Structure 1
């Protein structure tokens, strides 16, 4: 991309780059979730989102600085303004490539390939400081072995398996986890924040610098999730985030509807900058925009990547997360096309639409998104296959709870925790025994 000489070359580069980013964004959360201790899985996968926020912030300031290089062209800036930022993107890609050479393989992938000794070694290395005899390693090995034995009944899986009755609920949850994360309106704030600040009276460099504050907020406010996400749980975090974001979207819509002045043709001839605000109303719009970002960063930002890999069984985890991630990018693209004409034509009502989306996602999460925090990936599978729950759904979402304390006991090898684990194993084994029988009976 940085060497592009014409539009066609740039498009080819963007397509290739997009495919590579799509592959990485689908597989990185799967890999992290499979090597993370259950009690800290949210924290470790959340680091991916934190890294994304850093990347956005750093590239914004690099692009801003590069805009001053060279003479202005007929298009507004010299080519260095975009060649240098795109060229610099190769640096982290090289580090990622080299770093992957020394990272351990996923123990669950090794188990599926019957490489049990390597699986046990890596479990001990990443969970118990290399102690092969640690009780938690033995328990994880037992859970993984039982799950592998059960899943051998389902060989040669395809994407169609995600849409079979027993898996459809999880597929919908995973897909909508990523779709809703886009429909929160966060990326609208990221991509088109300069329109908003122009309508609030900012222009030129002051607009860009004021816009950059939201990227700093995004980085800082993701930190609480890294520290406490596994304690809070996935459901409360998502529900609280939806309420807060919906509130600030409705507030922005109300401020613009009541105090906004329609500007025919848009401010400075930009149709998307269709309204003008002054004084306290302008400050209120900016404040609600910052507060919206501060609400998204510790809630839907990290959880949207943490949650999907926890939903699927081992045999379908990669395909399930890839599908959910495709929903993310598809709606990202759709919103990129929808938002500019929306600002130009329906103005403040754009915010109301996103407020309605946040209301809808609150309802969806409450009734259908179960709690996965503090559970091993195998225990999450048992929750969805609960014979005493709803058919094809498992334990009702609103009845699920965070169980981090018990998992921490298991990771420490606490005897009391192990006994608690042992008491729950019959239920999980019952699921594995009864499911094939149900399938035969049908």
Structure 2
């Protein structure tokens, strides 16, 4: 009987850890599937010129579906596995994309976006979970960070497709919106079919008493096909012991999320995903056209082009985070990034409040800046810098951190709940921001800036560092100190010492050798 996956693919850690990131690309596709059409004449005519509240509801339909999908992962990923859950998300995405492409009215569009959102909810919860369980500790942060990079690529690709299609009869052709919505089904199909050649999570297999399959996958992923390789045996035995220990703690259920030592991590995971939305980043993605209109940037084409620059920067600025997340660490990236994001948003709000006034844009009341080109350009630059600050810090870490802090017995449910937190606030903000910009205007930026500052304080006091540790060693990290002393935890907590190795504990040797399998510049400090 065949392995059920391609061994050559499994033996390349970067391929096996990155392909599933297409699931993140689906998220990005849907984010910009609306941002590029908000001022499209055909879109406005087909959907009867939606006001700010109606537009918010149509955009919010996707995160509403994603919330349901993310919550479903807690059961789905444990029952059918990480791999099959990702495949299911790709199939469901194709159905949602077809409905959006064929939409004849608001109701049909909303249904299509809810179904697509359901797929994204499954993928956005399961992909980081799968990556964290199948990749080595030395590159785990880098691999999970690719989820965020895939999101930025999805945003960029869809936006440029929409920008190109906007030239079809200058946006007065229905094809200018149907073509982008139709093309987005291709990556979902690619994800569903391509994952058939990838292995299942060995941790999930061991948890379901399929030890032989798990050992075979670990041999391919970490030992170039040799099941007797020392590193493979160490990892296999470590996972087995962890699973057996967790089984002695009782059956897996949602009540386990409230167990001592676990609930603290649930709070951290859900709050980090919450903060990632409350920074206002997706507001800049969904409604960047509104933001630039308020800044005084006139002309539909010029606004679309200026917005595209932001999406390009989002992709480029994520690259350093992918390369260095396992060197810099999670805590400093989060704190520094959040401080900078707060600064840029306070600046945008201050400039808008000082130089703007109430006016009318495209027939709707809006706070606008006129006759101050330097201020307009300054706000645009601050928006770009805000996006870069998010992309290089909070963006990748917000997916990496929740995927690695939970024990095996609750990992799927806890990551599912964390991602559900993301979608809950994504939904609320997607609906609320258009009315907010129409009613409290520049004060909206002050609200998000304050959220960024609050998040920085929360991270500093409560989020311990997790870089370079195996998922099992992270247990020791959270056993140190109390919930508000994260800054006191030393970098060597949870790491095995040379003395441990001398007395038979070879976990440190395993991790060191894995790190040495990377280039010397990519090793995580021990």
What range describes the TM-score normalised by the shorter chain of this pair?
Answer: 0.7 to 0.9
Q: Distance in 2 between matches of 1:380 and 1:164?
A: 17
Q: Which residue of 2 aligns with 1:12?
A: 111
Q: Which residue of 1 aligns with 2:481?
A: 389
What is the root-mean-square deviation in Å for CA atoms of aligned residues?
A: 2.5
Cα deviation, 1:293-347, whole Å, max 9, x if unaligned, reads 1101011111111111111111111111111111111111111122122222222
1:37-76 map, 5 Å? 37-70=136-169
- Contact 1:263–1:276, Cα closer than 8 Å, also in 2: no
Q: Which residue of 2 aligns with 1:346?
A: 440
Q: Which residue of 1 aligns with 2:320?
A: 224
Give the SS at the match of 1:4.
Answer: coil
Q: Distance in 2 between matches of 1:419 and 1:222?
A: 40
Q: Which residue of 2 aligns with 1:198?
A: 293
List gaps (5 residues or longer) in structure 2.
1-99, 509-526
- Closer, same or farther: CA 4–40 of 1 in aligned 2, 3 Å: same
Deviation at 1:160, TM superposition (A): 2.8
Q: Distance in 2 between matches of 1:148 and 1:372?
A: 20
Q: Name which of structure 1's ranges 275-284 and 364-373 shifts more when overlaid on structure 2.
A: 275-284
Cα deviation, 1:129-174, whole Å, max 9, x if unaligned, reads 2343333223222321221111112443222321334321111101
Deviation at 1:23, TM superposition (A): 0.8
Q: Distance in 1 between matches of 2:507 and 2:216?
A: 26
Q: Distance in 2 between matches of 1:277 and 1:305?
A: 42
Q: Which residue of 1 aligns with 2:86?
A: none
Q: Distance in 2 between matches of 1:5 and 1:346?
A: 33
Q: Distance in 1 between matches of 2:445 and 2:264?
A: 30
Q: Distance in 2 between matches of 1:383 and 1:312?
A: 11
List gaps (5 residues or longer) in structure 1.
426-442
Q: Which residue of 2 aligns with 1:126?
A: 221
Cα deviation, 1:369-391, whole Å, max 9, x if unaligned, reads 1111100001112322x2x633x
Q: Distance in 2 between matches of 1:419 and 1:348?
A: 62
Give the SS at the match of 1:263.
Answer: strand
Q: Distance in 1 between matches of 2:438 and 2:107?
A: 29
Q: Which residue of 2 aligns with 1:163?
A: 258
- Contact 1:70–1:80, Cα closer than 8 Å, also in 2: no
- Contact 1:200–1:278, Cα closer than 8 Å, also in 2: no
Q: Distance in 1 between matches of 2:363 and 2:396?
A: 38
Q: Which residue of 2 aligns with 1:379?
A: 473
Q: Distance in 2 between matches of 1:35 and 1:313?
A: 15
- Whether 1:109 aligns to 2:204 is yes
Aligned counterpart in structure 1 of residue 189 of structure 2, from 89, 94, 103:
94
Q: Distance in 2 between matches of 1:52 and 1:417?
A: 41
Give the SS at the match of 2:173.
Answer: coil
Q: Name which of structure 1's ranges 363-372 and 190-199 shifts more when overlaid on structure 2.
A: 190-199
Give the SS at the match of 2:505.
Answer: helix
- Contact 1:34–1:107, Cα closer than 8 Å, also in 2: yes
Q: Could you tell me the TM-score, scaled by structure 2's length?
A: 0.73
Q: Which residue of 2 aligns with 1:399?
A: 488
1:147-186 map, 5 Å? 147-186=242-281
Q: Which residue of 2 aligns with 1:436?
A: none
Q: Distance in 2 between matches of 1:334 and 1:276?
A: 31
Deviation at 1:118, TM superposition (A): 2.0
Cα deviation, 1:376-416, whole Å, max 9, x if unaligned, reads 001112322x2x633xx5x9421335569x79xx9xxxx89
Q: Distance in 2 between matches of 1:389 and 1:137?
A: 33
